[in-house]
Each structure stands twice: as structure tokens, then as C-alpha cells.
Structure 1
Amino acid sequence: MALNFDVNIESESEEDPFEDGNTVKNIQEHFRHEFTQVHQEATSLKRKYITHAANSNDFSKISIGIGNEMQVYDVTESGLNKYVGKNEFGQFEHPVSGLKFFHDDPNIVFASTSAGEIHMYDLRSFSRIHTFEDDSELIVKPVNCFDVNANDRLLCAGSDELNHNVYLMFFDIRERRFMGGYFESHQEEVTDVKFHPTDPDTLCSGSTDGLINIFDCKKEKEEDALQFSLNTEDSIAKLQWHYHDKLSCITNTNELLLYDANEHDLLKKWNRSSITEAIKRKSVIDCNLIDCYNYGTDEMLLLATSNYNKGECIRSVTFSENTLDPVGNFSGNSQIIRASLYNAKENLFFTFGEGAIISLWKESESAATNMNVSLKEDSSVKKKLKKKSNPY
């Protein structure tokens, strides 16, 4: 369902007592890339948030988590085509807590729920292939996050705190079995797990206890598998692997940390105030960090927003161990952003948020000037979306 761009998307966020705004008069002088929405898709007529999103490796498909539902879309020449399945496809009794596609097969998608289940689907048949869960102690561990390793053989899920315990649970995808877990390396809920993009046996995990743990998953015993721990002294929200084994961390207090995973060193830390300054905004309390990505051939990118005035401001900056540099300005946003995806090869962004809207962004130089035009009418987007990409 395509939307007109003059729609007033409501947000349930409280009105902010502080007025945010730009700190410079000419934004284009600082942000050299201007992004425009070329397509919007309504995902629900109800007041729901899109909280999770994932893309296939070739960006031919995306999936979203919206309440107790997973929705999957083909990214086509004419826009987004929703999968309408059978037998309550993608419908769950509990909220979605994570999503992931197979690296080598865009037709296999996973969705986890807060009830401790990780469902595996084949999109060709709209069928649920298997449900992974750890009930080895006669209790189901609630899943907060999960990831699939680079060769699509191993799945790791991180749990919420349960009876003062937290768990990293491992499953063999091909044999459909629970393999065991690490139960002592974190003291509070696990908020993110990320396998290394090329080394299928290396895993990092983050928690509200402030620790980033790096594991060698070839080792069966937890004490042998734990290679080292990094103490952020903060509550961790998101982790991301980057070029040359750099590791970025976004905290729940909206700080950005960059580590060297080989040397185990903190390279740089930016607080919320410095990021607010980098995106040229006034209000620190409104600054919200969305996610980090690999950018170009050897750079890293941070997508950040201001939640003021229904999230009207989205901007991107590159970061290194030295600087934060303004890159992109996104014009015309009208919902508070909760998740995003980035196609690095095509330089396309998807954003998802509290208006239950999927927005596709591309650079304005070749974007449609009429904001109501769809992807079907934009031949430049058609050409770009045919290409394959690799997020790493």
C-alpha cells in the first residue's frame, strides 16, 4: 500500500519540552549527500511500531517485526510486494524479538519471539520448517536477540534474565538440534549477538551488564571459548563488526564506542553531546542513535536521528578512530525511527518506525521530484534495485 507523503503520521511519544533545531543555516554545506523518500509502505492500519528489520544478503527481500507479526517483502522494480502466506504465516502469540535471513539463500528467514522460540521459514512454500528452542531445563528461555553464522550452520540466541541467569544458546541449523550454551559470561540480559562476517566461529555478545564478550565457538567449554571481555561501563544496545576487525557499540545511553577486536583496545568514544554536535542539532536529549554500517570501501557509517517533532531529522556521519564527519541529510521524515537497513552497494536506506511505515531513501540527484511518485515510475531506482549487493 503506497502512501501520499502529506499524510500526518502520529507518534505516541511525549511532547519534548525542549525545542530542537539546526545549529547551522545551510545544511547542504555540511551534509554533501541529500536523501529523499522515493517510496513509503504502510504495514498496519493499527497503532503499532516496527521494532525489528532484516534484509537478505542480495537485498531482494526484507522482513520486519511489528508487534506479534513478521512481515516479508520482495524488493522489486515497482516497489515492495508483501508475502501473503497461509496458515497464519508470520503470526505469533508473543512479540517479535529478532529477524535474520540465511546468507546464501534469501528464501530462508528466521524470526524469534520473546517466548523463547526461533521460527525458521521457507518463503517458497510459506511453510515453517522448524522451531528452535532450549527447554533443556524444563523451562523456556526468553530470546532477546539471535544471529546466524557466516556458513549458515550455527545459530546463537541471547536470552533475557531468567531466575537470575542469562544464556547464550547454540543450535545446529542443519541437524535441527540444541547444542548447548554459555551461561556464565553475562550477568544481565543479552541485548545483541553478532557472528563475525567472515569467520563462522567468532561471536561477539553484548549485555546490559556493560560487557562485550568475544567467543571462539569451536571450543565446547565456556571458559575456553571466552577469548576476552571489553567493559563499556554502560548498557549495550547494538553491536556491529566492521573492516579490519573493528567493532562498534551503541549504548542505551546513546553513546558510540569503537574497538579494535584484535588488540582489545578502545579506539574512540563519542558521547551523546558530541554526536548531537556532529549532526548539527541543538537538543542532546532528542538525539537517538539508530545503527552502524560499513560504508564505501573502508569506512564506517552511523545513522542518527532527532526525535523532536515526530522524528523529522535523520542524518548520517562517518566515523573513524579520530573523527565524526557529516555525510547525509534525509529530508521529509515524519515518524520516529526504530530500525534501519542499508544497502551499501546501491547507497539505499530503509527506515522503519513508530508510524508503522517502511520508507525507502535514495540520493536526491536522481530521485523523483514528485514526492508522490512510486518506484514503478522511477526508472533510476529500477536500475539500481536490479543489482546485487553484499552488506559486508
Structure 2
Amino acid sequence: MEKIEEQFANLHIVKRSSGTEEPTYLLGVDTSRTVHAEEGSLVAALCSSGSIRIYDKERLRVLREFSGSPGLLSGVKFANSHDSIYSACTDGTVKCWDARLASEKPVHQFKGYPSNVFISFDISCNDHVICAGTEKVDDDALLVFWDARVNPQGLSAAKDPLGAYSETHSDDITQVRFHPSNPHLVVSGSTDGLVNVFDISIDNEEDALITTCNSVSSVSYIGWSGKDYKQIYCMTHDEGFCWWDLNHLDTDEPITRLSIQDVRETITVKEGTLDYLVGGLYHEKMDRLFVVGGTNTGRIHLLNCTISGLTHVATLQGGHAATVRSFCWNVRDDCLLTGGEDAQLLLWKPAAVEKTFAKKDSMKIASSVHQRVRVHTSDGYKRRKKQ
């Protein structure tokens, strides 16, 4: 198998999204897991204007658009087994649209508790459970759960929650991520600096909490990695990186594999500088974890992650003209989708030649998205074992 370094370095732009769209930051990108003859695979992009745009993947042509108005949407995720698209909303719901229907109305809504403002969410790998994280209101920051299974016949009323966790985070819950293959495991991250791992098959919150790790800063991104996905990692709003091994919870070995307070101060990049981190990429076939970062001028850096630190692997350039906010890597065909503050959605493929117009000048606009950056000084992590 060709090394991922070569795969990444060999990527070239094959398509750009249309230049006639309203300029907006592209904050999140996901692709459908199913393929249809009429439109092929679909791409969903979360926009700072408060909408989700649905594109056909090969041409990056906008097919339809969904809005959370008057609420703002956070996150975008396709179901794992069908063409539903989900997003959390500040109006206290998680909304679900059929990505292949032109109707702007959600086909399902999952309603939270009074005063809930949802800013993060995910759906389990078997599409059975939705979990969403809230902003802190008064003294509460909640993880709220729903049964995602609905009657397939027509529209349904908003579904009420199964329950909520309220004791394990003390501030805004910025990230929620289910385990890729175990529907009972979910990890959450918060501006309180904590990263919590839960087994939701256990009845009460205290016993469901497997472990709490501390990033010592506001969490911006979390993910699963390692063989059988028994590791977790996170990035922070001030460009820190932490990586933990859950295999060591019941051993004397340290759980922390790597902890970097500010990656920008430790990394050497061959082409210029590193200004920010975007997210992580675990390559399952190669059993390797990579971190994706970039520059304010639109370059994208791939960093290799080992217990010794982060090292620069490759750089993509000539695509974006401003900060890259989101990406989606497809292992099946080695293609990459990226979205940024230049209002561009790009499709990269190996050894390809761009067939559309050249790189656009920066269309950077004022963002309606507020990033919280807080520094915390609490202890590294605490371990909790199930009784």
C-alpha cells in the first residue's frame, strides 16, 4: 500500500464549489455513506450563515439547502446507514433532514429540555442514539440523549429526551463523539478542559463515566484512534494537543501518550509556519494518527503523531486563500474535501488536474462564530474504574 504521506502529497484539486454562492465560512464537512445513481455521493457543508448546503460530490454543485433559522446550527453529520443529515441547533433541538428531499423542513426534530442551547452533537455508529452537548446555562451544562429510531411513515412529532448527564462538565460542551464501532461508548469535551469517556449502557451517570482526562484548556476537537479505537485525542482552542490510551486505565502505565500545550511552538514545518489545528485523522488500515493544521493563507499541513511528538509530513497549497476550517478524508478513494473562510469547498484527488477556475482571491468575511479560549490549570486527569 502506498504510504499516506505520498497519498497526501500527491493530492491535487479536481473541483471547486461554484463561485456564485453567498460568501460564508464553511465550518464543517461530511459525506454520505451511500451512493445513488442520480446524484452519486452527497456532501454536506455547515455554513456560518446558519445553513447546511448539500452538494453532489463529483461536481460540487449545490443541490439544496437547509436552515436552522431562527436558531444557529452546530455540526453536520450524515447517518451511517441512510441519507439523513443531522445538526444541533441553538433553539434547543437536534434537527434531521432527508438529504435527498428539497423540503426545507426537518423530517424529524429531537427536542431538548427548557433553556437548552445545543452547540455539539453526534449519532452512534448504529444510528440508534443521538447525544448533544449544551452551552452552560446557570450552573448546568448537559449531555442530552435521544432514541434516534423513528417511525419511517411520514413526519413525526418532536421526540423527547431519554435522559441527560449533568454532573461531569462545568462549562459549555463543545464536542461529542461516539466510538466508531461500539455504540455504547461516547466521549465529550468542554471549555472546562475536561474530556470524559462514558459507557451509556450503564444506568446512572456516575457509574457510566469510565474516565476523565484534562486537556488543561478549552477543547475544540476530539476523536478516537488506535487499534480497536481504544485511544482518544483532543485539540484545544489555543492550539494544544493531547492523546490518551484507554488500554492503560487498569494498569500502572501512564494514560497520557502525548501532551503539547501549544503545537505552534514545537513543530517545524518545511513550507512556512503552522498557524492553527483543524482536526485529526486516524488511518485505520495503517494504524496511524495524523493531525491536520494550516496557515492563515490557506495552506494545509499534515502532521504525523507519535509518542515522541508531531512531525510535518506534507503540505497542500494553491487551493484555499484563507483559513481552512473543516475537512473530510475518504479512505475508500483517498480523496479529501476541505472548506474554509474563503467560502470555497474543494475536492482533492490523487494525481489529478484541476478542471475549473483558478484559485480565488480571499473572500474572508466577518464570522458570526465566536470561539471561546480559556486556559485552565487543574490537574492532568483522574481515573475512575467501574465497580
Using the size of structure 2 for normalisation, the TM-score is: 0.78
Shift of 1:41: 0.5
Q: Structure 1 residues 203, 354: closer, same or farther in 2, change over 3 A?
A: same
CA RMSD of aligned residues (A): 2.6
Shift of 1:279: 2.6
Number of aligned residue pairs: 330
Contact residue 239 and residue 248 of structure 1 kept, 8 A = yes
CA–CA distance in 1 between the matches of 2:301 and 2:242? 18
Contact residue 97 and residue 113 of structure 1 kept, 8 A = yes
SS in 2 for 1:262: helix
2:155: which partner in 1? none
Contact residue 31 and residue 327 of structure 1 kept, 8 A = no
SS in 2 for 1:277: coil
Residue 68 of structure 1: which of 50, 53, 57 is its match?
50
1:131: which partner in 2? 109
Amino acid at match of 1:201: H
Contact residue 279 and residue 316 of structure 1 kept, 8 A = no
Amino acid at match of 1:145: S
Is 1:292 the counterpart of 2:277? The answer is no
CA–CA distance in 2 between the matches of 1:32 and 1:220? 44
Give matches, 1:59-208, under 5 Å.
60-66=41-47, 67-76=49-58, 79-84=59-64, 89-90=66-67, 92-105=69-82, 107-127=83-103, 128-135=106-113, 139-175=114-150, 176-208=159-191
2:306: which partner in 1? 320
CA–CA distance in 2 between the matches of 1:301 and 1:58? 26
Amino acid at match of 1:319: C
CA–CA distance in 1 between the matches of 2:248 and 2:43? 35
**Which has the bigger relative contact order, CA under 8 A and spacing at least 6?**
1
SS in 1 for 2:17: strand
Greater Cα shift, 50-59 or 151-160: 50-59
CA–CA distance in 1 between the matches of 2:323 and 2:100? 33
SS in 1 for 2:206: helix
Q: Structure 1 residues 250, 235: closer, same or farther in 2, change over 3 A?
A: same
Q: Unmatched 5+ residue regions in structure 1?
A: 1-28, 374-392
CA–CA distance in 1 between the matches of 2:277 and 2:208? 31
Q: Compare the two structures and name the one with the higher helix fraction.
A: 1
CA–CA distance in 1 between the matches of 2:53 and 2:356? 25
Shift of 1:274: 5.5
2:26: which partner in 1? 50
Amino acid at match of 1:98: G
Question: Could you give the per-residue CA deviations for residues 262-291 of structure 1, whole angstroms, max 9, x where no partner exists?
Answer: 3241101234356763433665xx610001
CA–CA distance in 2 between the matches of 1:64 and 1:227? 33
Contact residue 298 and residue 324 of structure 2 kept, 8 A = no
Is 1:35 the counterpart of 2:11? The answer is yes
Q: Structure 1 residues 342, 108: closer, same or farther in 2, change over 3 A?
A: same
Question: Could you give the per-residue CA deviations for residues 233-255 of structure 1, whole angstroms, max 9, x where no partner exists?
Answer: 11111101112212111111101
CA–CA distance in 1 between the matches of 2:22 and 2:339? 15
Contact residue 25 and residue 341 of structure 2 kept, 8 A = yes
Amino acid at match of 1:75: K
Q: Structure 1 residues 185, 371: closer, same or farther in 2, change over 3 A?
A: same
CA–CA distance in 1 between the matches of 2:72 and 2:205? 30
Shift of 1:33: 1.7
% identity of equivalent residues: 25
Shift of 1:361: 1.7
Using the size of structure 1 for normalisation, the TM-score is: 0.77
CA–CA distance in 2 between the matches of 1:94 and 1:170? 20
SS in 2 for 1:115: coil
CA–CA distance in 2 between the matches of 1:30 and 1:324? 18
2:247: which partner in 1? 262
Contact residue 192 and residue 205 of structure 1 kept, 8 A = yes
Is 1:339 the counterpart of 2:329? The answer is no
Q: Unmatched 5+ residue regions in structure 2?
A: 36-40, 151-158, 250-254, 359-387
Is 1:234 the counterpart of 2:217? The answer is yes
Contact residue 146 and residue 158 of structure 1 kept, 8 A = yes
Shift of 1:34: 4.0
1:306: which partner in 2? 295
Contact residue 16 and residue 356 of structure 2 kept, 8 A = no
Q: Structure 1 residues 271, 282: closer, same or farther in 2, change over 3 A?
A: farther
Amino acid at match of 1:84: R
SS in 2 for 1:223: helix
Contact residue 122 and residue 131 of structure 2 kept, 8 A = yes
CA–CA distance in 2 between the matches of 1:221 and 1:315? 42
Question: Could you give the per-residue CA deviations for residues 319-376 of structure 1, whole angstroms, max 9, x where no partner exists?
Answer: 122343333221203121111111123221111111211011223xx21166649xxx
CA–CA distance in 2 between the matches of 1:287 and 1:184? 35
Shift of 1:172: 0.5
2:235: which partner in 1? 250
Shift of 1:48: 2.0
